[in-house]
Structure 1
C-alpha cells in the first residue's frame, strides 16, 4: 500500500486517539474551532461560520485527494474532540514526510495532548511507513510552537525567508525543524520517560 493509504490509520495510546477525519466530525470540531487564538499563526483564518465551513471542506478535500492525511484528535481523559493534526507533503520516494496543520482547542492546551499526538505520528512515520526524515515548519513569530518542537526533540534547521502570504498580507518567515530516523530511538525514549499522568482537559 502507498503511504497515503497506510498513513490514514487510527493511532492511540492511553492519552489520545488520532483517527482520519470524516464528514461527521464537522460539528464536534466546530465546537472548539471558533477561538481566534488558534488561527493567530495559521495560514487559514477562521473568524466566521463561513470561514469554518471553508476550512473544514478543504480538510476533507485534501484528505480525500491524498494531499494530506488529516487526523482528528480525541482527548481520552474527557472523551472530547481536542483538535487536529496532519501528515502532509508525503514524499514517499524520498522517505520524507511533514507533520503539521496542528491546533488544539483552548481547553486542551497544556495537558500533554500535543506531545502525545506528535509522538504517535512520529512513531507511525518511522516504524510503519519507513520514513527517513520527518519535518515540521512554523511561523518564525510563533514562539510557543517553536518551543514545543524543541521540547519533542526536533532540530531547528533554518529559516525560509518570505515563505508565504498570511491572512492580512504579511509574508511569513518559516522555520524548519526535523527528526531523522537515526535520532528517533533516543527521542522516543525521552518522550516515553516524560510525565505519565495526564491531567485531562475540562469536561
Structure 2
C-alpha cells in the first residue's frame, strides 16, 4: 500500500477522532464552517452557500484524486463535528509530508481539540508511515499559528515570499516549519504532557 492509502485511516486518542472525509459529511461540516473568522488567513473563503459548496467539493476532489488525505474531526466529548485537517504534499520517496489545511469551528478552539488532532497526525506520520520530516506552513501574518507551532517544538525554517494568491487579490508570504524524526520524541512529550492552551492559542485556521 502507498502512503496515501495507509494515511487514509481512522485515528482516535479518546478525545478526538479523525477519519477520512466523505460526501455524507457535507451538512456537518457546513454547520461549523460558516464563520468568517476561520478564513482570515486561508487561501479560500467560505462566505455563503455557493462558496461553501465549492470549498467542500474541492476537499472531496482532492481526497479522491489523492492530492490530499482530508480528515473530518469529531470532538468525542460532544460527539460533534469540530473541523478538518489534512495530510498533503506526500512524498513517500523522500519520506516527508505536510500537515495543513487545518481549521476548527468556533466551539472547538482553545479546548484541546487542535492539540489532540496534531498529536494523532504526527504520531501516524512518524510512528506508522515512517516519515522523516513533517512540514507545516502558515501565513506570515498569522502570529498565533506561528507561536503555536513553535510551542510544540516545530522549527521555523524561513519565508517563501509571494507564495500564493489570496482571495482578496493580495499574495501570501508563507512561513515554513518542520519537525524531524529525531525531534519527534520531544514534540510528542510536549503534546502529551503540556496543557492544551499553548498549542490551542491559534487562529481558527493555521494553514491553508
How many aligned residue pairs are there?
A: 196
Contact 1:4–1:66 (CA<8 Å) still a contact in 2?
Answer: yes
Contact 1:73–1:85 (CA<8 Å) still a contact in 2?
Answer: yes
Give me the whole-angstrom Cα distance separating, in 2, the residues matched to 1:126 and 1:108.
26
Contact 1:15–1:76 (CA<8 Å) still a contact in 2?
Answer: yes
Summarize the alignment of residues 162-201 of structure 1 with structure 2, pairs less than 5 Å apart: 162-195=162-195
Deviation at 1:188, TM superposition (A): 0.8
Q: 2:92 is matched with which residue?
A: 92
Gaps of 5+ in 2: 197-208
List structure 1 runs of 4+ shifted beyond 4 angstroms: none
**What's the secondary structure of 2:183's corresponding residue?**
helix
CA RMSD of aligned residues (A): 0.9
**What's the secondary structure of 1:135's corresponding residue?**
strand
**What's the secondary structure of 1:100's corresponding residue?**
strand
Deviations 1:6-29 (A, max 9, x none): 000100112110000000000000
**What's the secondary structure of 1:189's corresponding residue?**
helix
Q: 1:110 is matched with which residue?
A: 110
Gaps of 5+ in 1: 197-203
Q: 2:122 is matched with which residue?
A: 122
Q: 1:145 is matched with which residue?
A: 145
TM-score, structure 1 length as denominator?
0.95
**What's the secondary structure of 1:62's corresponding residue?**
helix
Q: Which has the higher contact order (CA 8 A, sep 6+)?
A: 2
Give me the whole-angstrom Cα distance separating, in 1, the residues matched to 2:8 and 2:142.
28
1:160 lines up with 2:156 in the alignment: no
